Chain A
Amino acid sequence: MNFLRGVMGGQQSAGPQPSGAETIQKLCDRAATSTLIDDRRDAVRALKSLSKKYRYEVGSQALEILLNVLQTDRSDSEIIGFALDTLYNIVSNEAEEAAECEDENPQVSDDLGVHFSELFLKQQENITLLLSVLEEFDFHVRWPGVKLLTTLLKQQGPQVQQIVLVSPMGVSRLMDLLDDSREVIRNDGLLLLQQLTKSNAAIQKIVAFENAFERLLDINAEEGNSDGGIVVEDCLLLLQNLLKYNNSNQNFFKEGSYIKRMKPWFEVGDDNSGWSAQKVTNLHLMLQLVRVLVSPVNPPGATSSCQKSMFQCGLLQQLCIILMATGVPADILTETINTVSEVIRGSQVNQDYFASVNAPSNPPRPAIVVLLMSMVNERQPFVLRCAVLYCFQCFLYKNQKGQGEIVSTLLPSTIDATSLSAGQLLCGGLFSTDSLSNWCAAVALAHALLDNFTQKEQLLRVQLATSIGNPPVSLLQQCTNILSQGDKINRRGSKVQTRVGLLMLLCTWLTNCPIAVTHFLHNAANVPFLTAQISENLGEEEQLVQGLCALLLGICIYYNDNSLENATKEKLKQLIEKRIGKENFIEKLGFITKHEYYSKAAQKPQPIFSSPDHMMFDHEFTKLVKELEVVITKAIYKSSEEDKKEEEVKKSLEQHDNIISRYKSVIREQDLQLEELKQTVTTFQTKNEQNQTIISQQQAQIQQHKDQYNLLKVQLGKDSQHHNVHTSNAQMNGIQSEEVLRLREEIEELQKQQESLRGELSDKDSLIESLKQTQLDSQTVQVTGVSEPNAEYKKELEALRSQLHVQSAEINRLQAERTELLQKIEGKASDSGSSGLSTLSTNTEWEEKIATLLQEIASLKGELKAASEEGSSLRQQLDTAQSTAAILQDEKLQLHQDISESKKEQDDLLVLLADQDQKIFGLKKKLKELGQLVEEEEDDDDLESGDDEDEDEEDEGGREGEN
């Protein structure tokens, strides 16, 4: 600290500063001792204004006092604000630099910041105090508080982080700054959180837990994503802090479905007008964030699940659009290629998608071809060419299908002369006069062969037409030719680069492929070339080539199947001993791994080189070397007897291996089949499900129709009730016949009633008949027989009336006679009483007779009347019954029609259902078959199992099918 004093002391002696120091002392005293808040406030305000110019003095004298103010004057936000401002000025180097900076030595101001930060942090409580001050909502408190804490974090990061971490609500309070409605505070809050989360996984996790991802993605979207300003950049930097190297947060990010929210970041459209510097920066950071999630150094499971979501949400597709768009700045394009590379690396689905991407050119070309064109184009920027190589490597990584497709573009049978293919571009690159193209093409081609025996064999078939008139030469031979004649060709770039590239290709090709070794050895010139290279004493530059030549020769020994008489393992080893010497050979072999470029390339898959000259090793190749160096060294040191013994062991092992590999391939095939079958089963299952839903839908429809039908019928019933009161309410389909039955019964009953009424009527008739008979007997009145009912009644009645008339006329006559007689009798009574008595008795007899007759007539009249009444009511009843019957008949007809209609509908539906049943049955049958197949395949894996289990299999298959 003495040096600080020294510097400051020098300043003090130079002018009015001493008075400054004195003033500060006075102000400090006032701020510390005055009992009046106004006084203290003025003092702190004055200290603030001096704190930039007299930073050291204020810092060393006022720090304690200012901290005290923070503690004791919490109720006065103004003084708190001044104190925080002052503290910020003291601790921050930026504040001073922003002011007129008289310091010749910026180092000193840096040291001052660190010094005062240390003083501030002497007491852990000071940070806690600052955190609690941040609760104050007042802008003039919160803002300097945020800035002060940010500065402290910048200067004493780990220490401050630790204190914040252990204060219970620490991190979550700071997270709340992002919700501050005042943008300045929110934005400075972002800067604070950036510092807070720097390389501290525990804090990163808490910040993520406090919903940082949601908040930051929201802010990003609000600010316009890539079109946004520096706030977007700050958000992205914070996101990067939270996600980089933090697997737990990456997992949380993925699980929280935030990946799909990255997609809009890359919807940059085709308008190329707006590529501001800020937009380029933003997009760079966005692309890097995608790469953080799918980095090859992440745990494999984590990367692959992120890759999967990136395809599912369309992020990869969006990136590919940028990839093929025009007018994208080169560095953004480069980073996009690198990003796409890592999104597809090792993920079959994504690789397949990438293979299907076409450039919007005319005619459309595969993206792979367009990219490779850039890779072998000297005019393209170096980093872009590296990115394309990386992309190609990632496309082929663990992608046998892709490897096969690339190699096939070179094969005579599938070659398409009309359009530019990946294979042609690679060959062009391999034999161009640009060493970088040579190297890139060689490495790219090597990646098409990695761990793929089939393609190594296939590539041996490739023939090249070198020049007109000359016979074609194999690709393998052409590579070795260039290698040996390399010196003669005039090339741009480094000759070593070309040769290293070709040697890497040859080593990869021949590894684990005895046929390729035989092909290589078949050309008698190759081995002498290699031995000459290895044995020569060349300069440092050539050492790498020597090492790789040794490796290639070693591979020719190790993977030699002794099929060439004059180039067996044994003979080659003898050759090494004679021409090079074992020790020398091993030493040269060791040149590779000792090379500084080797260890650089071994670090990670992406080809990154500080300059094109450093482009020597490929990452995958370094892995290969590591494996081969050990086995080749062993092979070289082995005696011929050991070799022979080993050969025998190897043979038997090989036989074993053969068997195993046969089984393996069988298993692999079955695995594939199984997978396929599983897929078909799942597709069938989904189809089945779909069908079932369709069926249930249709059933629901049928039900709906039925309901509708019934509803209509009810309505119909109601309607007809309105029209006709007598209409019975037939409602249900099923009840209809019953109803008809009932109606029939009713009709029958009515008919019966009618019958009985008729019977009664005829009874009455007969009664009347008999009555007439008696009348006829007693009065000798002729009455015509009344036999027919109803119609005859009136006549009868008429007749009876006329009879009555006649009778009454008779009676009148008789009465007149009687009165006459009575008068006569009265006149004669005085004359002779005896004769009068006899007349009297006959008179009374008559009178009695007449009275009884009259009575009889009256009762007959009543009876007649009643009978005629009964007759008319019967007629009425008959009428109504007949009309009811007619109505019922009508209704019955209608109901019959309805029934037949609904029957037809039902029939239609039944047909539909039967169709569906048929389909389901078919599907079920298919499924059943499939189920059996799967079962059988699984049993096949168990090679010991015999046919005796067939029955069980069938049973299981059956069960499987039902599931």
Chain B
Amino acid sequence: MAYAYLFKYIIIGDTGVGKSCLLLQFTDKRFQPVHDLTIGVEFGARMITIDGKQIKLQIWDTAGQESFRSITRSYYRGAAGALLVYDITRRDTFNHLTTWLEDARQHSNSNMVIMLIANKSDLESRREVKKEEGEAFAREHGLVFMETSAKTASNVEEAFINTAKEIYEKIQEGVFDINNETPIPWIPSELQWRPVTARSSDLRQLQTGDSCEANGIKIGPQHSTPGSPGSHLGGQQAGGGCC
């Protein structure tokens, strides 16, 4: 149960592209052809290993319909990774990617890793969107790209794990402030929310809530921050070193 890091993901994309099936395949290793329409948001979790470290993934599967769009927006800010999914047999789901991406970029923190997923790769005969098109879109928008099949499980593990690897690398590069010493740069939408004239005594207040946890990352109890051997003695560190 102990983990070094915890990452929060969201899965977004049009209804019916296979978001829920991808999650089920990843968490339960099974495919359920007839799946309930997701209402609002559903939750799933799994442990993975990267670089010898246990990483817990908490994944929120969202409903794709327009009517739930505003609800799902609430999940962007706190997510470290997003899987943006389209269906290779339905061009419209590919065409809607721009809207999804704009939405995600607007409401998420700037460090969120977005992975573009072309799902249902098993339905080659009904393909409407070429792999090259997906690759081109991903390149253009700086996303990682992958074709998957929730049915055959092809590339499903990789999709989730590669996203985690990206995030992990960002942590290693120090993009996320896992020690919560200094707040990471504000994103514009958050600036509006923060008090313009904070008192010095309020600074502590300012910093909370914008640590890595706000970015969908949490440091597990088994993690010890390099260069701070005292963290084990700290005691409180154990509960959740970060935030």
Q: B199 to chain A: which residues have CB within 8 Å?
A: 137
Q: Which of A135, A179, A218, A251 contacts B193 (CB 8 A)?
A: A135
Q: Which of A135, A170, A176 contacts B74 (CB 8 A)?
A: A170
The answer to whether A168 and B43 have CB atoms under 8 Å apart is no
Number of interface residues of B (CB under 8 A): 36
Interface residues of B (CB under 8 A from A): 1, 8, 40-45, 56, 58, 60, 70-71, 73-75, 77-78, 107, 189, 192-195, 197-199, 202, 204-205, 208-209, 213, 239-240, 243
A648 at the interface (CB under 8 A from B): no
The answer to whether B43 and A214 have CB atoms under 8 Å apart is no
Which of B40, B43, B213 has most chain A Cβ within 10 Å? B43
Q: How far is the CA of A218 from the CA of B236 in the complex (A)?
A: 11
* Shortest Cβ-Cβ A-B pairs, 9 listed: A137-B195, A255-B45, A166-B70, A206-B74, A179-B208, A202-B40, A248-B43, A252-B43, A168-B73
A136 at the interface (CB under 8 A from B): yes
Chain A nearest CB, measured from B104 CB (Å): 12
Given known A-B contacts A202-B41, A214-B240, A257 and B1 have beta carbons under 8 A apart: yes
The answer to whether A181 and B204 have CB atoms under 8 Å apart is yes
The answer to whether B70 and A137 have CB atoms under 8 Å apart is no
Q: B198 to chain A: which residues have CB within 8 Å?
A: 137
Interface residues of A (CB under 8 A from B): 132, 135-138, 165-173, 176, 179-181, 201-202, 205-206, 209-211, 214, 218, 248-249, 251-252, 255-257
The answer to whether B1 and A209 have CB atoms under 8 Å apart is no
The answer to whether B195 and A209 have CB atoms under 8 Å apart is no
The answer to whether A209 and B78 have CB atoms under 8 Å apart is yes
Q: B8 to chain A: which residues have CB within 8 Å?
A: 209
Chain B nearest CB, measured from A205 CB (Å): 5
The answer to whether B209 and A176 have CB atoms under 8 Å apart is yes
Q: Which of B74, B192, B194 contacts A209 (CB 8 A)?
A: B74
The answer to whether A248 and B41 have CB atoms under 8 Å apart is yes
Q: How far is the CA of A639 from the CA of B239 in the complex (A)?
A: 72
Given known A-B contacts A135-B194, A206-B74, A252 and B58 have beta carbons under 8 A apart: yes
Q: How far is the CA of A840 from the CA of B237 in the complex (A)?
A: 127
Chain B nearest CB, measured from A130 CB (Å): 14
Ordered by A's residue number, 17 sampled pairs between the chains whose C-beta atoms are within 8 Å are A135-B193, A165-B74, A172-B74, A172-B77, A172-B78, A173-B193, A179-B205, A179-B209, A202-B41, A205-B43, A205-B60, A206-B74, A209-B74, A209-B78, A211-B213, A218-B239, A255-B43
Q: How far is the CA of A210 from the CA of B239 in the complex (A)?
A: 17
Q: How far is the CA of A138 from the CA of B198 in the complex (A)?
A: 9
Q: B204 to chain A: which residues have CB within 8 Å?
A: 181
Q: B197 to chain A: which residues have CB within 8 Å?
A: 137
Q: B192 to chain A: which residues have CB within 8 Å?
A: 132, 135
Q: How far is the CA of A168 from the CA of B189 in the complex (A)?
A: 10
Chain B nearest CB, measured from A521 CB (Å): 50
Q: How far is the CA of A172 from the CA of B73 in the complex (A)?
A: 11
Q: How far is the CA of A176 from the CA of B213 in the complex (A)?
A: 13
Of chain B, the residue at the smallest CB distance from A246 is B43
Q: A179 to chain B: which residues have CB within 8 Å?
A: 205, 208-209
Q: A256 to chain B: which residues have CB within 8 Å?
A: 45, 58
Q: How far is the CA of A211 from the CA of B75 in the complex (A)?
A: 12
The answer to whether A248 and B1 have CB atoms under 8 Å apart is no
Q: B213 to chain A: which residues have CB within 8 Å?
A: 211
Given known A-B contacts A137-B205, A173-B193, A179-B209, A211 and B78 have beta carbons under 8 A apart: yes
Q: How far is the CA of A803 from the CA of B41 in the complex (A)?
A: 129
Chain A nearest CB, measured from B63 CB (Å): 10
Q: How far is the CA of A172 from the CA of B58 in the complex (A)?
A: 18
Q: A249 to chain B: which residues have CB within 8 Å?
A: 43
Given known A-B contacts A168-B74, A257-B1, A209 and B205 have beta carbons under 8 A apart: no
Q: How far is the CA of A302 from the CA of B74 in the complex (A)?
A: 26
Q: Which of B71, B189, B208, B209 contacts A165 (CB 8 A)?
A: B71
The answer to whether B205 and A169 have CB atoms under 8 Å apart is no
Chain A nearest CB, measured from B178 CB (Å): 16
Q: A170 to chain B: which residues have CB within 8 Å?
A: 74
The answer to whether B195 and A136 have CB atoms under 8 Å apart is yes
Given known A-B contacts A137-B198, A169-B193, A206 and B75 have beta carbons under 8 A apart: yes
Q: A180 to chain B: which residues have CB within 8 Å?
A: 205
Q: How far is the CA of A205 from the CA of B71 in the complex (A)?
A: 10
Q: A206 to chain B: which residues have CB within 8 Å?
A: 41, 71, 74-75
Q: How far is the CA of A171 from the CA of B107 in the complex (A)?
A: 13
The answer to whether B40 and A181 have CB atoms under 8 Å apart is no
Chain A nearest CB, measured from B225 CB (Å): 19
Q: B73 to chain A: which residues have CB within 8 Å?
A: 168
Q: How far is the CA of A275 from the CA of B239 in the complex (A)?
A: 29
Of chain A, the residue at the smallest CB distance from B206 is A137
Q: How far is the CA of A735 from the CA of B213 in the complex (A)?
A: 61
Q: Which of B60, B74, B193 contacts A171 (CB 8 A)?
A: B74
The answer to whether B77 and A181 have CB atoms under 8 Å apart is no
Q: B45 to chain A: which residues have CB within 8 Å?
A: 251-252, 255-256
Q: How far is the CA of A249 from the CA of B42 in the complex (A)?
A: 9
Q: How far is the CA of A251 from the CA of B28 in the complex (A)?
A: 14
The answer to whether B42 and A248 have CB atoms under 8 Å apart is yes
Q: How far is the CA of A170 from the CA of B208 in the complex (A)?
A: 18
Q: A137 to chain B: which residues have CB within 8 Å?
A: 195, 197-199, 202, 205
Of chain A, the residue at the smallest CB distance from B42 is A248
Given known A-B contacts A135-B193, A137-B205, A179-B205, A169 and B40 have beta carbons under 8 A apart: no
Q: Which of B44, B194, B202, B239 contacts A181 (CB 8 A)?
A: B202
Q: How far is the CA of A409 from the CA of B96 in the complex (A)?
A: 69
Q: B74 to chain A: which residues have CB within 8 Å?
A: 165, 168-172, 206, 209
The answer to whether A210 and B194 have CB atoms under 8 Å apart is no
Q: How far is the CA of A256 from the CA of B46 in the complex (A)?
A: 11
The answer to whether A168 and B40 have CB atoms under 8 Å apart is no
Q: A218 to chain B: which residues have CB within 8 Å?
A: 239
The answer to whether B70 and A169 have CB atoms under 8 Å apart is no
The answer to whether B60 and A209 have CB atoms under 8 Å apart is yes
The answer to whether A165 and B193 have CB atoms under 8 Å apart is no
The answer to whether B77 and A169 have CB atoms under 8 Å apart is yes
Q: Which of A168, A205, A211 contacts B41 (CB 8 A)?
A: A205
Q: How far is the CA of A39 from the CA of B131 in the complex (A)?
A: 67
Q: How far is the CA of A524 from the CA of B132 in the complex (A)?
A: 87
Which of A135, A202, A249, A252 has most chain B Cβ within 10 Å? A202
Of chain B, the residue at the smallest CB distance from A214 is B240
